[in-house]
Amino acid sequence: MTGKSGASVLLLTFARRGEEQAIRDALAHMRSEIPDADVFAVGTPVSAPLLQEAGVESVIIYGAGRGARAVVRESRSRRPKAAAIIYWEPRLAGHLKLEALALLAGARVTHRFPPGSDARPVGRLGLMSSVASKSAKSLLCAAAGAALCGIAFACLLVSQTLAGGSRARRS
Amino acid sequence: MKATVIIVNHNGRDLLAESVPAALAAARAAGEHDVVVADDASSDDSVAFVQDNFPEAKALALPKGGFGAACNTAVAAAESEAAVILNNDVVVTTDFLPPLLDDLGQPDVFAVGCKFLNPDGTLTDALGNRTSGEWQGGLLHIRHETRPERLTETCPQLYPNGGGMAFWRDKWLELGGFDPLFRPLYWEDVDIGYRAWGRGWRVLFEPRSIVHHDQGSTMARLHRPAHIERMSAKNGILFAWKNLLDGARFRRAVAAQARWAADDVLIGGLPPRTAALWWAFRQLGQACRARARERRERILSDDEILSASAGGSP
């Protein structure tokens, strides 16, 4: 589904309550950048009405039986000329997911909307490097957590063993 | 049985204006009991306020050490068989003491917790009335009974809420009091209750002993909500590291904790448990020593503790 100009724009946001104005601002910006573009978004059954009320033309539903692969496939099939990401949720996990989706959907340029700031357009290469750095940060966090727990587990077990046998009955 | 009622205070002069006279009235009504205000290095004039206005109460000016340390010092200094700890924002009813002391007379009872009501007399929905717990996803999940009809009889509970609890002083000293592992606060009362059950002692809930608690009035002004959340999460992890001795359960718990960092990254969970994990890790040495001690002293298994504290047989 494309507009008169033949272009479509993918809007990516978690569409949380309170985010309505940020969505409207991003839509206005994208429509001024690509007039007559159809704007579609990815949302859940819960967020879809909010997105449509804000002016998004159609919503690809994620959840309710549709997995990430189907969402990516449908997003790609609409050949978005550009993507817009609203960074409302200030978490690495959220940012990473939205940027990866923009990349996989094939948008040539992505307009990033940080809270309270103007749009910052970035090309595919820039987005790719952002996804790579966030993925590395995520892996590092996960590895650090696992390492902390591994060390803690070993130390606690050793101290328990050195303390000798428990008087507790086995459960 | 003589008891010492200990009100723990930090910068709560205005709260003491209500809680101290209530405690004094209750102590007088129940016989010859002491009332002590254990002041944790207040920078307001709490100590002078107590000395000037309530000469029957003893004011202990303590160096800064947090809630647990103030309790430990005051209990050690008490000259009675039993002690009662109260938060400075807890206002007792005049007849709250006799039911607690009656319950302590039962065999093997270590501690008895009060029934907490909001200042308007309604049942509080967040504080330790008839507590129980369940090991789940790497942490002990605490439950509180909120149905009034289930809070009419004296019954076992996992731990007495530290805001209003009576206990035997000798058993307290044997347990080593509140563990400084949980400084500055939160989970120390859960820990002492769990350890008491682990030694074969009991902890009871006493619905006839009513206290009013303006929940969080002290905490809210001393700490930011995010800080409270982080302290609580850190201490929840340390509690598991120290107390969960059942081998298979412990392995599952640590594996679940190891997944938290990945979950935080991929799902964005709240509170940020990775940070809490790091905070807990910095106290690993202390946790190891505490776990070793638990291993030596414990006579009930983790399952038996939870079963017995929920009213089942150990």
A9: pLDDT strictly greater than 80: yes
Question: What value does the CA radius of gyration of chain A take, rounded to a whole number of Å?
Answer: 22
User: What number is the average pLDDT over the span A78-83?
Assistant: 94
- A162 within domain boundaries: no
3 state SS of A41: strand
Contact B199, B191 (CB under 8 A): no
Q: What is the DSSP secondary structure assignment for residue B190, as one 8-state letter?
A: H
Distance from CA of B131 to the nearest CA of A (A): 22
Non-local CB neighbours of B120 within 8 Å, separated by 6+ positions: none
Q: How far is A51 from chain B (nearest CA, A)?
A: 22
pLDDT digits (tens, 9 = 90+) for B26-70: 999 999 899 999 999 999 999 999 999 999 999 999 999 999 999
Q: Compute the distance between CA of residue B239 and CA of residue A19 in angstroms, rounded to an integer.
A: 39
CA distance B232 to B213: 20
Residues of A numbered 107-166 whose beta carbons fall under 8 angstroms of chain B's beta carbons: which are they? 138, 141-146, 148-153, 155-156, 158-160, 162-164, 166
Over residues B76-82, mean pLDDT: 96
**Nearest-CB residue to A163 (from B296, B301, B304):** B296
Beta carbons of B246 and A171 less than 8 angstroms apart = yes
Return mean pLDDT, chain B.
Answer: 91
B284·A169 Cβ contact <8 A: no
Arithmetic mean of pLDDT over chain A: 86
Q: Does A69 touch chain B (CB under 8 A)?
A: no
Q: What would the pLDDT profile of B114-125 be if each residue is shown by its tens digit?
A: 999 998 888 877
Q: What is the pLDDT of residues A18-65, one digit of tens each?
A: 788 889 999 999 999 998 889 999 988 888 988 999 889 999 998 878
Amino acid at B178: F
Say yes or no for a CB contact (<8 Å) between B288 and A141. no
In this predicted structure, the answer to whether residue A16 has a pLDDT above a threshold of 60 is yes
Percentage of chain A modeled with pLDDT above 90: 47
CATH number at residue A58: 3.40.50.2000
Q: Which residues of B touch A162 (CB under 8 A)?
A: 292
> A94 falls in which pLDDT band (50, 70, 90)?
confident
> Is pLDDT of B221 > 80?
no
What is the chain B residue with the closest CA to A160? B292
Nearest residue, CB atoms, A160 vs list B278, B295, B303: B295
Residue A88's domain comprises: 8-130
pLDDT of residue A171: 42
In a domain, A23, yes or no: yes
Nearest CA among B302, B108, B271 for reference residue B198:
B302
Look up the pTM and report it.
0.79
Residues 6+ apart with CB under 8 A from B221: B11
Residues 6 or more apart from B226 whose CB is under 8 A from it?
none
- The proportion of chain B whose per-residue pLDDT surpasses 90, expressed as a percent, equals 75
* Residue B143, token pair as written in the block: 């439950």
pLDDT 10s digits, A103-160: 999 999 999 998 777 888 999 999 999 999 888 887 887 888 889 999 999 999 999 8
Confidence of residue B274 (pLDDT cuts 50, 70, 90): confident
Q: What is the total count of domains within chain A? A: 1
Between the alpha carbon of residue B118 and those of residues B5, B12, B90, the distances in Å are 21, 18, 10
In chain B, where the domains are located: 222-295
> How confident is the model over B152-176, as pLDDT tens digits?
999 999 999 999 999 999 999 999 9
Inter-chain CB proximity A159 and B293 less than 8 Å: no
pLDDT at A151: 95
- Tally DSSP H helices, then E strands, for chain A: 5, 6
Please name the member of B260, B268, B296 whose beta carbon is closest to the beta carbon of A91.
B268
Task: Check A159 against B241: CB less than 8 A apart.
Answer: no
The ipTM is 0.79
With CB atoms and an 8 Å threshold, state whether A164 touches B267: no
Cβ atoms of B67 and B177 closer than 8 Å: no
Residue B206 has pLDDT above 50, yes or no: yes
pLDDT at residue A91 is higher than 80: no
User: Once rounded to an integer, what is the mean pLDDT over residues B106-131?
Assistant: 88
Closest CA–CA distance from residue A113 to any residue of chain B (Å): 20
The whole-angstrom separation of Cα B269 and Cα A54 is: 27
Question: Which of B259, B265, B301 shows the shortest C-beta gap to A141?
Answer: B265
Longest dimension (CA), chain A: 79
Q: How far is B13 from chain A (nearest CA, A)?
A: 40
For A148, the closest of B268, B281, B303 (CB atoms) is B281
